[in-house]
């Protein structure tokens, strides 16, 4: 860029009136004479560092602020630069030249001014408030930056560091970090708002270029500068995790009281740094676990801080994408297992099976990191575990798999007996396979549903006994004894229910109440089984009452027929037909609860549908639709209640005076409006027998508005919501289905639950063995704890002698033992390898995505610096050449001696 170009860019020169404007120039530029500047025309005329290169003697260098002719209009027409700099803060000519040289990388001029000008203020700023260091850093002049960093009184080093980080100038960042101000590392962890006592940051009433809560490492993490983040981490910089949103400590309370918006923004900036892939990769020993936990924390914050909901959700998605990116870089099974299981060295030493771990997968399912779970690398490993101990079954056709399911269903009792007596045999290993456990549980549940159907099969053709008829086996039998007796199918159903309830109780004990309730299928199962138990309990209570009445008849009545005697009312009630039973009769309640439980039982089939690729997405869409319906019900109930109460108030006075009883009671209002949604209510529901046209017209209007609101608006809105949810599932059907299938698979990966209900009720010999083993371990732990308490109560020296023998002390002092302690685990080695790949891939992607504009700018800056160096060398060469010519001329043409001087000599 030429000097002319720079002058036109910053508007450094304009023409002025010779008298008035020259005086103004002199006032605003520290008394510098403009005529002196006009006389300078080349770089060499101003000792090698003149800033101005004038075209003619009629032009003056432009001032930092334009000055109009009429002083009365001075404020009205000032240039835009006035808002950045007050009039009294103008620079001297020396400072102008210094800033210009620093900005354009004029290394010789900067070096000469720093060495030869004792009055130079290196901390002077231009109209934008930038000093020479900031200008040099902003234009990537490394040599100028290094020259300026040698000055002791240099200010705004922190601003320069932030600027270099934001632009990605790694070498300049490295040079700045070598400054003595960063020797302790304390300044790297503190933000500009925390360092207002010195001039490290230009934190004033105008603020800095960056947010005052931004620290260097937070900015580097925001900009995804891996090298810079690594350098700052090596210097001891860390991003402090924000306190809990509801934290009431003194610091948080003060920040919230002083400026709640700044406090929220500082939290977001900190979380942006924490969620940065650069910071996650380089700062954590277990980046996958850190990213998963951070993503869940950000989702919670999105639900708390609604005003920043989108920001937190984007950061959460960024953490999830990071985990998926690391998993995508795995190249063998060992690396995939390391990602999915985490560090399992301790668990394997305890004897736990690797299949029961999968801690990262379980965490990803809990936090709904669907892309991680549905990733091919993860799915392949899960599929391998799913068909464990069943070599060859995975490659079989669907017909063969269906045949296996049928065989397992038919031979389930025999398989259960074989597993009881030989759990460690080949048969036991096969039954412990997740696939076989799934097949066994599914077959058991299908048998349970068949029992429910078979229990009602005797009523498929209808019942010959009418509700007002009683049928008994013998004359003295109480009718209710016959109706409340349990059939063998009902006894089998109760056994199945008891087995399923036992399994649910064990799962509740294992997972804990909180985790158990978080899974809706567990809530559905527990509710279904509770309703079954309540139904059978009511039925059993009715049976006991009937048997009590039968006992009374057997003991007190000696007549040949009950119709010939008068029974007490409480006994006679049990001889009545169904049409005379009380609404609160236990048997009626039992039948109602049983019907609800049967419906829930068949809906439980949806739990196993995700195992199939065709039905899985449909089941997921159905679940999402149910959620939409519950959301819609809030608005629906509000509108429904409004019209129901209004129509009831309007027609409650006309009971018996209407064509039909609609709206005359609350119950009739509910039924009329509800069935009106489906077009089953008549228009005559609002017609009166009396000539009250006003009331009737109001009824027509309200009923019409209700139908338009409900049918035309709300129902179509519900259809649109359902369609939108279905489309979301359809657009990402593969990921949604694999995620749902993985949740189903994982429920069978854990140890236990080998035998399905009702066979799980009877404990196996293996269960007795494990129970005894746990009791022994519990006693050992208690004994060890008591021994430890005794040792802690002893003298410190004695306890040390008990804890460490002489050989162990020598081992601690040995170098080999220290090397063993410092040796990284296999998991840490794999994670280090994967993170290296991730960082390299991120850097390559960034280089490919960047436009060449940055490289061109860097080349241009280098050329500019080179030009100044060449000009300096040219000037020195010219001076040396002039000196040589002068010396040569003196030798070739010696001066003649004057006679008068010779005589004097």
* Side-chain-facing half-sphere of 274: CA atoms under 13 Å: 20
287 and 281 Cβ atoms separated by less than 8 Å = yes
Peptide bond into 248 cis (omega under 30): no
**Cα–Cα distance for residue pair 139/107, rounded to 1 Å:** 13
Rounded mean pLDDT of 494-511? 91
Given a cut of 70, is residue 492 above it in pLDDT? Answer: yes
pLDDT reported for residue 857? 61
pLDDT reported for residue 851? 52
Angle at 520 between CA 514 and CA 523, to 5 degrees: 75
Q: Which of 200-214, 492-506, 889-903 is modeled with the greatest confidence?
A: 492-506
Rounded mean pLDDT of 757-767? 79
pLDDT reported for residue 353? 53
Q: Which residues contact 242 (CB under 8 A, 6 or more apart)?
A: 266, 267, 270, 271
pLDDT reported for residue 429? 87
Q: Which residue has the tokens 């279904």?
A: 528
Rounded mean pLDDT of 412-422? 87
Structure tokens at 35: 């005529």
pLDDT reported for residue 11? 38
Angle at 609 between CA 606 and CA 610, to 5 degrees: 120
Given a cut of 80, is residue 621 above it in pLDDT? Answer: yes
Residues 288, 289, 294, 299: what is their CA dihedral angle, to the nearest 10 degrees? 90
Rounded mean pLDDT of 336-350? 74
730 and 617 Cβ atoms separated by less than 8 Å = yes
pLDDT reported for residue 592? 94
**Cα–Cα distance for residue pair 221/306, rounded to 1 Å:** 25
Rounded mean pLDDT of 116-131? 86
Structure tokens at 478: 């109480």
Angle at 34 between CA 33 and CA 35, to 5 degrees: 90
pLDDT reported for residue 198? 60
* Residue 125 backbone dihedrals phi, psi, to 5 degrees: -125, 155
pLDDT reported for residue 818? 40
Beta pairing partners, 688: 658
**Cα–Cα distance for residue pair 775/509, rounded to 1 Å:** 17
In the chain, what percentage of residues exceed pLDDT 90? 31
pLDDT-derived band at 895 (thresholds 50, 70, 90) equals low
44 and 89 Cβ atoms separated by less than 8 Å = no
Structure tokens at 391: 């070599």
Mark out the alpha helices in 691-764 (DSSP H runs): 693-707, 715-731, 733-746
pLDDT reported for residue 784? 62
722 and 586 Cβ atoms separated by less than 8 Å = no
Peptide bond into 758 cis (omega under 30): yes
Beta pairing partners, 658: 688
Rounded mean pLDDT of 582-605? 92
**Cα–Cα distance for residue pair 467/580, rounded to 1 Å:** 9
Rounded mean pLDDT of 68-97? 56
Q: Which of 655, 662, 746, 650 is nearest to 698 (CA)?
A: 650
Q: Which of 290, 276, 292 is nearest to 373 (CA)?
A: 292
What is the maximal distance between C-alpha atoms in the chain?
A: 182
Lowest-confidence pick of 421-425, 470-474, 574-578: 470-474
**Cα–Cα distance for residue pair 763/778, rounded to 1 Å:** 21
Taking all residues of the chain, what is their mean pLDDT, rounded to a whole number? Answer: 79
174 and 231 Cβ atoms separated by less than 8 Å = yes
Three-state SS letters, 801-815: HHHCCHHHHHHHHCH
pLDDT reported for residue 3? 40
pLDDT reported for residue 336? 92
Beta pairing partners, 60: 14
CATH of domain 616-731: 1.10.287
Lowest-confidence pick of 16-30, 230-244, 779-793, 883-897: 16-30
Structure tokens at 291: 């990213």
**Cα–Cα distance for residue pair 869/863, rounded to 1 Å:** 10
CA distances from 337 to 176, 297, 573, 728, 830 (A): 42, 25, 69, 31, 10
Given a cut of 80, is residue 10 above it in pLDDT? Answer: no
pLDDT reported for residue 570? 82
Pair type for strands 13-14 and 60-61: antiparallel
* Residue 750 backbone dihedrals phi, psi, to 5 degrees: -70, 155
3-state secondary structure of 131: strand
Rounded mean pLDDT of 691-697? 89
pLDDT-derived band at 62 (thresholds 50, 70, 90) equals very low
Given a cut of 90, is residue 75 above it in pLDDT? Answer: no
pLDDT reported for residue 352? 54
* Residue 658 backbone dihedrals phi, psi, to 5 degrees: -120, 165
In the chain, what percentage of residues exceed pLDDT 70? 77
Residues 364, 367, 368, 372: what is their CA dihedral angle, to the nearest 10 degrees? -30
Given a cut of 60, is residue 356 above it in pLDDT? Answer: no
Report DSSP state, residue 13: E
3-state secondary structure of 149: helix
CA distances from 121 to 26, 114, 212, 425, 901 (A): 20, 9, 26, 88, 52
201 and 158 Cβ atoms separated by less than 8 Å = yes
When comparing pLDDT for 661 and 799, which is higher? 661
In sign, the C-alpha dihedral spanning 310, 315, 319, 325 is positive
DSSP letter string, 332-389: SHHHHHHHHH---HHHHHTT--GGGT-HHHHHHHHTT-HHHHTSHHHHHHHHHHHTTT
pLDDT reported for residue 58? 40
Rounded mean pLDDT of 355-368? 86
- Altogether, the residues listed in the chain come to a count of 905
Structure tokens at 422: 């030989």
pLDDT reported for residue 905? 44
Q: Which of 246, 371, 282, 268 is nearest to 314 (CA)?
A: 268
When comparing pLDDT for 360 and 577, which is higher? 360
**Cα–Cα distance for residue pair 546/731, rounded to 1 Å:** 59
Q: Which of 495, 528, 522 is nearest to 506 (CA)?
A: 522
pLDDT, tens digit, for every residue of 807-848? 333 433 433 334 444 577 888 899 999 999 999 998 888 777
H or E element that contains 61: strand 60-61
């Amino acid at each position: 860029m030429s000097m002319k170009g720079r002058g036109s860019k910053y508007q450094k020169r304009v023409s002025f009136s010779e008298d008035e404007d020259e005086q103004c120039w002199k006032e605003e530029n520290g008394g510098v004479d403009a005529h002196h500047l006009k006389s300078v025309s080349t770089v060499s005329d101003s000792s090698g560092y003149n800033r101005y290169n004038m075209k003619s003697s009629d032009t003056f260098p432009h001032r930092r602020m334009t000055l109009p002719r009429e002083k009365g209009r001075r404020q009205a027409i000032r240039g835009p630069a006035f808002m950045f700099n007050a009039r009294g803060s103008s620079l001297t000519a020396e400072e102008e030249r210094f800033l210009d040289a620093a900005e354009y990388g004029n290394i010789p001029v900067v070096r000469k001014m720093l060495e030869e000008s004792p009055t130079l203020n290196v901390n002077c700023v231009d109209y934008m408030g930038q000093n020479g260091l900031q200008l040099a850093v902003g234009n990537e002049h490394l040599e100028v930056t290094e020259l300026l960093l040698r000055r002791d009184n240099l200010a705004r080093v922190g601003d320069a560091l932030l600027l270099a980080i934001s632009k990605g100038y790694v070498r300049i960042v490295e040079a700045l970090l070598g400054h003595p101000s960063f020797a302790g590392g304390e300044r790297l962890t503190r933000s500009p708002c925390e360092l207002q006592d010195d001039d490290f940051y230009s934190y004033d009433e105008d603020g800095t270029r960056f947010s005052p809560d931004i620290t260097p490492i937070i900015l580097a993490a925001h900009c995804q500068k891996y090298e810079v983040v690594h350098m700052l981490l090596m210097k001891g910089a860390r991003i402090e995790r924000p306190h809990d949103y509801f934290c009431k400590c003194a610091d948080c309370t003060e920040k919230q009281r002083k400026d709640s918006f700044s406090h929220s923004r500082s939290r977001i900036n900190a979380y942006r740094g924490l969620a940065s892939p650069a910071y996650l990769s380089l700062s954590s020993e277990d980046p996958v676990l850190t990213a998963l936990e951070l993503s869940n924390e950000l989702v919670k914050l999105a639900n708390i801080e609604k005003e920043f909901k989108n920001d937190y959700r984007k950061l959460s998605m960024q953490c999830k994408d990071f985990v998926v990116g690391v998993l995508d870089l795995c190249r063998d099974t060992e690396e995939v297992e390391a990602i999915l299981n985490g560090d399992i060295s301790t668990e394997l030493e305890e004897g736990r099976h690797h299949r029961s771990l999968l801690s990262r997968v379980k965490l990803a399912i809990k936090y709904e990191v669907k892309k991680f779970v549905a990733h091919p690398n993860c799915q392949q490993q899960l599929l391998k575990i799913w068909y464990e101990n069943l070599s060859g079954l995975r490659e079989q056709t669907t017909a063969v798999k269906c045949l296996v399911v049928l065989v397992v269903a038919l031979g389930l009792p025999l398989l259960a007996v074989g597993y009881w007596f030989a759990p460690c045999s080949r048969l036991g290993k096969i039954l412990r396979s997740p696939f076989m456990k799934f097949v066994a549980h599914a077959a058991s549940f299908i048998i349970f549903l068949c029992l429910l159907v078979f229990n009602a099969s005797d009523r498929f053709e209808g019942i010959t006994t009418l509700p007002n008829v009683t049928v008994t086996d013998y004359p003295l039998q109480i009718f209710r004894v016959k109706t409340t007796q349990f059939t063998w199918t009902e006894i089998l159903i109760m056994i199945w229910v008891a087995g399923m309830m036992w399994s649910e109780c064990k799962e509740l004990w294992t997972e804990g109440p909180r985790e158990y309730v978080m899974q809706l299928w567990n809530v559905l199962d527990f509710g279904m089984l509770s309703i079954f138990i309540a139904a059978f309990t009511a039925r059993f209570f009715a049976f006991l009452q009937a048997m009590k009445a039968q006992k009374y008849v057997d003991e007190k009545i000696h007549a040949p027929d009950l119709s010939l005697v008068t029974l007490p009312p409480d006994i006679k009630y049990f001889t009545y037909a169904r049409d005379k039973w009380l609404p609160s009769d236990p048997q009626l309640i039992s039948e109602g609860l049983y019907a609800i439980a049967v419906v829930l039982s068949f809906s439980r089939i949806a739990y196993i549908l995700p195992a199939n690729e065709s039905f899985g997405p449909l089941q997921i869409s159905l679940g999402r639709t149910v959620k939409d319906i519950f959301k819609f019900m809030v608005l629906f109930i509000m509108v429904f209640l409004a019209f129901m109460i209004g129509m009831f108030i309007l027609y409650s006075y006309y009971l018996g005076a209407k064509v039909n009883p609609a709206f005359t009671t609350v119950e009739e209002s509910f039924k009329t409006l509800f069935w009106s949604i489906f077009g089953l209510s008549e228009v005559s529901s609002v017609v009166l027998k009396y000539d009250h046209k006003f009331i009737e017209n109001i009824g027509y209007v309200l009923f019409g508005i209700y139908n338009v609101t409900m049918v035309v608006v709300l129902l179509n809105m519900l259809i649109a919501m359902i369609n939108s949810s279905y489309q979301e599932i359809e657009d990402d059907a593969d990921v949604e289905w694999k995620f749902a299938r993985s949740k189903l698979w994982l429920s069978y990966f854990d140890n236990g639950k080998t035998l399905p209900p009702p066979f799980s009720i009877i404990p196996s010999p293996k269960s007795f063995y494990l129970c005894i083993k746990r009791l022994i371990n519990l006693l050992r732990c208690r004994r060890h704890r008591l021994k430890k308490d005794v040792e802690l109560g002893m003298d410190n020296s004695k306890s040390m002698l008990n804890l460490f023998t002489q050989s162990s002390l020598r081992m601690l002092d040995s170098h080999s033992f220290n090397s063993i302690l410092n040796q990284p685990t296999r998991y840490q080695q794999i994670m280090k390898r994967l993170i290296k790949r991730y960082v390299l891939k991120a850097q390559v992607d960034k280089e490919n995505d960047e436009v060449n504009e940055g490289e061109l700018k860097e080349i241009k800056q280098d050329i500019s610096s080179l030009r100044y160096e060449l000009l300096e060398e040219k000037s020195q060469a010219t001076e040396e050449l002039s000196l040589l010519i002068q010396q040569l001329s003196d030798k070739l043409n010696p001066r003649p001696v004057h006679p008068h001087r010779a005589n004097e000599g």
